[in-house]
Structure 1
Amino acid sequence: MSTIPWRRSPKCPTAVLALRCAQRTVGVEAALRLPSVMVLVVEDTCTAFAHEDWRRREPPRRRLQARRDWQAEGRRLRIKEERLRELAVQCLDTPE
């Protein structure tokens, strides 16, 4: 499977999808052909939206309990992102 690390892609193919969790791009053909890659793309996109939503809902510092709950949610999102990163490495770095 061809993946291109973000930092070493001087000449990217035209049809690629960004995997934020793994800091790589994946060809659209690979995502359509391999269900595990498509799952990674979908999960990565959902996680990115969830993280952005979480960031925008930051409560004021004076609301201590709301802030603690918000921070706990952020920790859960980071754990999910780390698991997704590990899955991406396993999926993308294993030879077919």
Structure 2
Amino acid sequence: MGTVPSRRSNGRPTTVVHLPCARRTVGVEAVLRLPSVMVLVVEDACTVIALRDWERREPHRLRPWARRRWHAEGRRLRAKELRMRELAAQCLDAPD
């Protein structure tokens, strides 16, 4: 997750937040103004951190039980990532 300078249609600069799990960007103004968007940003950041931590902890292939648990955890995290995309669609695509 990071912020990226952008331009509005009226030419005024704005800053957007990139949400890697949700595969979206959202304006900082919306994040600060709408609690549901703030929750989306926080959940996306937590999911990114969890995925990076999970990747870092890959057990050796000679530890089959640990690898099975690790793969199960990865499936849960990927499912959470999919839910993040669904949440983003509900939160960002809903009419005001």
TM range (shorter): 0.7 to 0.9
Following superposition, the deviation at residue 85 of structure 1 comes to 0.9
Query: What is the one-letter code of the residue matched to 1:26?
Result: V
| TM score, norm. by length of structure 1 | 0.84
Distance 2:62 2:48 in 1: 27
Following superposition, the deviation at residue 29 of structure 1 comes to 0.7
Which structure is higher in strand share? 2
Alignment of 1:73-88 (within 5 A): 73-88=73-88
Report sequence identity in percent: 69
Alignment root-mean-square deviation, CA: 1.3
Distance 2:33 2:94 in 1: 16
Unaligned ranges ≥5, structure 1: 1-10
Query: What is the one-letter code of the residue matched to 1:35?
Result: P
Which structure is higher in helix share? 1
The number of residue pairs the alignment matches comes to: 86
Secondary structure of residue in 2 paired with 1:15: strand
Query: What is the one-letter code of the residue matched to 2:24?
Result: R
Alignment of 1:15-30 (within 5 A): 15-30=15-30
Q: Which residue of 2 aligns with 1:12?
A: 6
Alignment of 1:1-96 (within 5 A): 12-13=6-7, 14-96=14-96
Query: What is the one-letter code of the residue matched to 2:84?
Result: L
Secondary structure of residue in 1 paired with 2:21: helix
Alpha-carbon contact 1:30-1:37 (below 8 Å) kept = yes
Secondary structure of residue in 1 paired with 2:26: strand
Structure with the bigger RCO (C-alpha within 8 Å, sep 6+) is 1
